[in-house]
Amino acid sequence: MTLLPELYMLLFSIIFLFLSLGKNKIALFTAARGLALLGFAVALACSGARGDLFSGAYQVDFFSQVFKVLLSAGFTLIVFMFEKENEVENLPEFFMFLGFSTLGLMILVSSAELISIVISLEISSFSLYAVVPLRKAQTKRQLEAAMKYLFFGAISTGIMLYGMGYLYGMAHSTYLTDIMAKLPQFLSQPLGVLALILTLTAFFFKLSLFPLHFWAPDIYEGASDATTTFIATIPKIAATALLIRLAMLASFAPAQLATVIIVLAAFSMTLGNLVGLVQKDVKRLLAYSGIAHAGYLMMGLLSFNQEGNAAVVYYIAVYLFMNLALFYVVMLLSRRGENVSINDLSGLARRSPLLALTLAVAAFSLAGIPPTGGFTGKFFLFVTAFKAGHLSIVIIAAVNTVISIFYYLNLVRISYSRESEDLQPLYMAFHEKVLCYLFNIIIIYLGLLPFGLIDLFRRAM
């Protein structure tokens, strides 16, 4: 029971491994969707599971189960969103790799020991390295993206291992609990801070936090829409989970670490938003928006308490849905799998009012305008960071919100107020409409009625 979601994910991947061997491509989507939905149900059913495995290296607690539900919800939605057979080559393999990657991330959120962290992170990363080049539409760009992702990913893992080496040397243990318990002693030395920062590098990389953000725009642009959607959301959830687990184990608020986080967060959001202003490709734009959001997320980690961690989880949940919504609009717009530029959005409100509405809701949510979830999440982050005494980062984030509205609003403006020659109505199938409505409802729900979920997250911390 404790390992059921992970085992199910493994099963999912293996099924598609076998399907990829055969020639029969019929009902592949139906199979994937059905199985993914079942996986979500399994994750939900196992949310009450508790347990310690492998002498404490693997912890199944409410915290990890909440994240597994989130991961599996995101995975299921992506499987449902994705449907262009002509966009991705080798469809069964594609599902298999996504499954393996999600499996790795599910293991990651339960890991409480350095070696299992490394292994789970690598399971997830290697699957993604393989997925990035699986795109039909463009040939050179996706290969460039794949190479970059592989190299940068490998280097960041290397740096993490280097940092872990130091941590082990200092704490004489690979268990996070032991390391965090001894942290106060060696955080006073520069080496201690360095070791911790180096270890966190791989997670900052996944989150695309400054200064490990530079891969994001190229990979977002080069990979197929579905792959980008996955990379932009699911690994970030797991990386956040690990950062929170570390913050939970820290029994005090280390001032040196807080300073580092503030600087990284400030640079990340400012850089992301400023560069986002000039982007023409929607996916590149979203990459910079992701860099900025990684900065916002860091604000919640500053407080090192239950309230702050719950705010971070809330924000990453909102982030998942608003990003999925925006990527879905991109996917439906580019039926042939080409990249969507900002100008392709013109006349969208005429061509498909529902899609334009989804775009608007998602963009306003990313910008943090009420009554969307983006506002509520950001508000929680502001409160906790302010409460912890970090007014400076709150003001920087507030100003950044204003900068970012410029390019989010641009998306809405072009889709609503600019006319285009192509006035062909966009045909949307029934389930596509349902999915759009679902995203809109979830984003507004998270904005207006956060009380149940935030209490739940607080209990999980």
Residues lying near another protein in the complex (CB under 8 A) are found at 307, 310, 349, 353, 360, 364, 369-371, 375, 379-380, 382-383, 386-387, 391, 394-395, 398-399, 401-402, 405-406, 409, 412-413, 416-417, 448, 450-451, 454-455, 458
- Minimal distance in Å, beta carbon 311 to another protein? 10
Q: Which is nearer to another protein, 33 or 433 (CB)?
A: 433
Minimal distance, residue 139 CB to another protein, in Å: 37
Distance of closest approach, residue 34 Cβ to another protein, in angstroms = 32
Closer to another protein by CB, 182 or 387: give it: 387
Residue 273 Cβ vs another protein, minimum distance, rounded to whole Å? 13
How wide is the angle at C-alpha 274 spanned by C-alphas 270 and 279, nearest 5°?
140
Residue 10 vs 383, nearer CB to another protein? 383
Minimum Å distance from CB 395 to another protein? 6
Comparing CB distances to another protein, the nearer of 148 and 350 is 350
Shortest Cβ 433–another protein spacing (Å): 14
Alpha-carbon dihedral of residues 12, 15, 21, 25, nearest 10 degrees?
Answer: -80
**Min dist. Cβ of residue 411 to another protein (A):** 12
CB of 3 to another protein, least distance (A): 32
Minimum CB distance to another protein, residue 255 (Å): 20
Nearer to another protein, 52 or 455 (CB): 455
Total residues found in the chain within this entry? 461
Query: What is the SS3 assignment for the chain?
Result: CCCHHHHHHHHHHHHHHHHHHCCCCCCHHHHHHHHHHHHHHHHHHHHHCCEEECCCCEEECHHHHHHHHHHHHHHHHHHHHCCCCCCCCCHHHHHHHHHHHHHHHHHHHHECEHHHHHHHHHHHHHHHHHHCCCCCCCCHHHHHHHHHHHHHHHHHHHHHHHHHHHHHHHHCCCEHHHHHHHHHHHHCCHHHHHHHHHHHHHHHHHHCCCCCCCHHHHHHHHCCHHHHHHHHHHHHHHHHHHHHHHHHHCCCCCHHHHHHHHHHHHHHHHHHHHHHCCCCEHHHHHHHHHHHHHHHHHHHHCCCCHHHHHHHHHHHHHHHHHHHHHHHHHHHHCCCCCCCEHHHHCCHHHHCHHHHHHHHHHHHHHHCCCCCHHHHHHHHHHHHHHHCCCHHHHHHHHHHHHHHHHHHHHHHHHHHHCCCCCCCCCCCCHHHHHHHHHHHHHHHHHHHCCHHHHHHHHHHC
CB of 31 to another protein, least distance (A): 36
Rounded CA-CA distance 418/430 in Å is 27
Chain position carrying tokens 């039909």: 136
Residue 451 token pair: 């009380």
CA–CA dist 291, 280 (Å, integer): 17
Whether residue 11 contacts residue 38, with contact meaning beta carbons closer than 8 Å, is answered with no
Strand partners, 249: none
Closer to another protein by Cβ: residue 58 or 375: 375
- Nearest residue (CB) to another protein, 302 versus 369: 369
The residue among 164 and 349 lying less far from another protein, judged by its C-beta, is: 349
**Pick 22 or 452: Cβ nearer another protein:** 452
For another protein, the closer of residues 130 and 266 by Cβ is 266
Compare residues 418 and 431 and give the one whose CB is closer to another protein. Answer: 418
Q: Please, what is the minimum distance in Å from the beta carbon of residue 416 to another protein?
A: 5
Going by C-alpha positions, the residue among 149, 335, 147 that lies closest to residue 232 is 149
Max CA-CA distance within the chain? Answer: 67
Residue closer to another protein, measured from CB, 18 or 406: 406
State the nearest-atom distance from the C-beta of 399 to another protein, in Å.
7
